[in-house]
Structure 1
């Protein structure tokens, strides 16, 4: 009897099991189409008719795991090197640059893409600066062997194959992915739009091992972000909360308020100085971010001056001073929050920074909400 019931349940659930198995198989197939690894060199065998040089003995290195970039390479002869870069086809370009110092600016790069009409393209560029006008097509010191170059789109991936006439390629390699919200380069200018993200590695060609190169001034960037976030974005709002809701703890609230705000101003001021130094060294175009930062600093300076010119509590001008002090402080906090998120966006720092600061703001907002309700009940 038990066996019959089990068989009936199996038959009833069979269609659902088949659907589940079909979905799992589909997911596996999709995953297999979009992934590549150094353990799957047979993939290049399927493209042998479209890659115009021998790929049987290429070294392999996963140069950019988060973007699933895989580089295969080998010395094909005296002063001749073969390269195949594999990357997901994101309907934009993929780029590989050979850098003298690990930076993108100053590199000579090979860039490939597949246009919307299915035509494959590859060009070389000299990355003379950070603006599109400074990225020069058909320039640079790379000698690409033209009749062996190809760009292939296969199974949701793009393969950029080329050979260089060179004794020894540069070890510092930079990689980039175009923003798929922009069209790929097209005729006649082949202008390259700003990349979505980038990275750099130092590759040992003999051992097929490499290490990631930190972005220039990465420690200074991190210091700039942390100082501004803690100073303007956390301490200043905390000091304002103390001033509004803890006045019954007189005079403790006043000393706590001035102490927290002073520390926030010092950290924020240091963060702005770090940002100005960073802009000068990187020659970055961050005018909006810089303008907001200087405005926030100016508001902070006005608040310091307001403290020095603070009238007595019974003075006739006290209500005007209070209005000024509250208004400038709230504007400063609002601008600081906006500029912190904008700075995270400019730095491409990732969702963890957004989430972390968002959690802190959530805690501050919840605290304000609770204290404001209590304050209204007392009234």
Structure 2
């Protein structure tokens, strides 16, 4: 009994660590209330993220730049620089919270190494530009009309202090000197740590998690209980292996189910009824197994019974221990 408790505790710790890692801040697990973007990238410095959609027919790129963990007394900026990964010649979008408490966004062309950060036109049109500040996160939304030569280029982003509505110079060390990367608006590739279509990535993760859970680990746990228990040398190892497989299967299955729910919420109006119904059925059966199997085991064990019945996914297995 003590070994079983340790195994279950270990499996729970694995689940907690898995959920904690999956909930880490990335561009893939962020959604906007009234916007959707086809691609995103975790920028490698300053806790920043870039989301974008390229409209080939219109020749525009719709972007959303997010700077998390900032304050209302700091400015945030993002831009592209076809001449190289540097501040000079960057065509930038800048935002800060003014003295009235309103987020203000503007464009500026950085033509010198000591920019004034004053509003100026860019080398391309920006038909739409706005900013939001909420929960210590600055967001810059823009539509850029750029030529094909700028689809694959360099991106630069920065942040610095604001004093009396004046944008002061940013720090010149640490991550502020590493805030450059490449970006390809057409292919979805970026110099950040993760890029590409967020929904495609979620679909792939959803498929892999559910395949491993319901397609591999759950059947493996049932097979272990069914065929290994006949060997005396495998007793009680088969039971512990069975518990680990089933518990791990449920943990991974919960993550896969949650990813599917997120995909559904991001795809309003698109419904795959057979797939959804099968998923709900499997999740309910798996939850019943984890909820009731351990209670049945404890009840029968306390009265020194010889057999217990456990529901294994969609199957019922008679286990002798």
| TM-score past 0.5 threshold | no
Greater Cα radius of gyration, structure 1 or 2: 1
Ranked by relative contact order (alpha carbons within 8 Å, sequence separation 6 or more), the top structure is: 2
TM-score by length of 2: 0.45
Structure 1 or 2: more strand by fraction: 2
